[in-house]
């Protein structure tokens, strides 16, 4: 059974990244799961068609007398039938990120790369200056870059000018579970770039956080820790899938406007009037 068999997501409402259409709007990370079997079941339960993979869990060369490092993990991902989005997790310099991306393209056979250039250790905030520079180099070399960035509008403009066709602003620091720290900034980003695929990446802890991102009009959500570190990762993966679907349905349905005053839901015209 591949990842599409158990999906609850959006086959009739696909999202497109660099010309590739996918049905699920949930992108799932593959780190920190209790076991490979639970990882596989969580991916199936989520319906995710794209998973992120760190190059640091793979190796192209085996030691004498030992199996290829990461080979069983890579086989598991292949058996699930999902698309791989390699990432440059942990890279702190442009050179390191570019080199890691080049190695990932050779190993995984894809031009896709989730580009991370980390600038601060405590928050894992992106180094946006290095990010733009690395994005320009990789785009020029034929990569299709998914940049992990902030919600800053100027940085977004520079990333698009550097060749990116997708933006992935953080919701909150990686692994924090805080949700959407700056709703105003995220809404502004969506409003300024209505035709650019936008993915909220990092910091989500609850399905309600993912639903809120989708209700803002975001195209997808990428998460890892909230599922991997849950008491029941498979159930949590399913919960996120349903929340994302609900948020997407809500924004398509054209929600009512927020009001300052009450508005009666029951008409008052024609109501019986009783004398005293």
- DSSP letter assigned to residue 256: P
Q: How many CB atoms lie within 10 A of CB 34?
A: 11
Please compute, for residue 117, the number of CA atoms within 13 A of its CA located in the half-sphere on the CB side.
21
Cα–Cα dist 219/237, whole Å: 18
Give the pairing of strands 199-201 and 220-223: parallel
Cα–Cα dist 126/166, whole Å: 16
Q: Which of 165, 168, 166, 169 is nearest to 151 (CA)?
A: 169
Cα–Cα dist 246/230, whole Å: 21
Residues with a catalytic annotation lie at: 114
Q: How many CB atoms lie within 10 A of CB 241?
A: 25
Q: How many CB atoms lie within 10 A of CB 197?
A: 17
At what angle are helices 94-108 and 128-140 packed, to 10 degrees?
40
Cα–Cα dist 213/13, whole Å: 17
Summarize the annotated binding site for 1-deoxy-D-xylulose 5-phosphate as residue ranges: 175, 202-203, 224-225
Summarize the annotated binding site as residue ranges: 175, 202-203, 224-225
Beta bridge partners, 28, equal 51, 223
The radius of gyration computed from the CA coordinates of the chain, to the nearest angstrom, equals: 21
Please report which helix (H) or strand (E) contains residue 239, including its range: helix 233-252
| CB-neighbour burial class of residue 6 (10 A; exposed 0-12, middle 13-18, buried 19+) | middle
């Amino acid at each position: 059974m591949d990842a599409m068999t158990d999906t609850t997501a959006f086959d009739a409402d696909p999202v497109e990244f660099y010309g590739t259409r996918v049905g699920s709007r949930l992108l799932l990370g593959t780190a920190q799961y209790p076991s490979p079997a639970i990882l596989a079941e969580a991916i199936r339960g989520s319906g995710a068609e794209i998973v992120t993979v760190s190059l640091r869990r793979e190796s192209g060369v085996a030691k004498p007398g030992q199996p290829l490092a990461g080979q069983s993990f890579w086989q598991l991902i292949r058996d699930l039938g999902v698309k791989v989005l390699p990432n440059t997790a942990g890279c702190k310099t442009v050179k390191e990120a570019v080199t890691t991306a080049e190695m990932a393209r050779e190993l995984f056979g894809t031009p896709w790369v989730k580009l991370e250039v980390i600038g601060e250790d405590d928050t894992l905030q992106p180094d946006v200056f290095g990010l733009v520079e690395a994005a320009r180099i990789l785009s020029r070399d034929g990569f299709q870059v998914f940049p992990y960035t902030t919600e800053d509008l100027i940085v977004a403009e520079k990333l698009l000018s550097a060749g990116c066709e997708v933006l992935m602003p953080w919701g909150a620091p990686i692994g924090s579970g805080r949700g959407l720290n700056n709703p105003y900034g995220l809404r502004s980003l969506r409003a300024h770039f209505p035709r650019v695929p936008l993915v909220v990446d990092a910091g989500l802890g609850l399905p309600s956080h993912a639903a809120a991102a989708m209700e803002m009009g975001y195209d997808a959500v990428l998460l890892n820790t909230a599922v991997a570190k849950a008491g029941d990762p498979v159930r949590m993966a399913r919960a996120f899938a349903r929340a994302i679907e609900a948020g997407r349905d809500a924004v398509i349905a054209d929600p009512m406007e927020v009001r300052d005053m009450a508005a009666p839901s029951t008409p008052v015209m024609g109501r019986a009037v009783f004398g005293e």
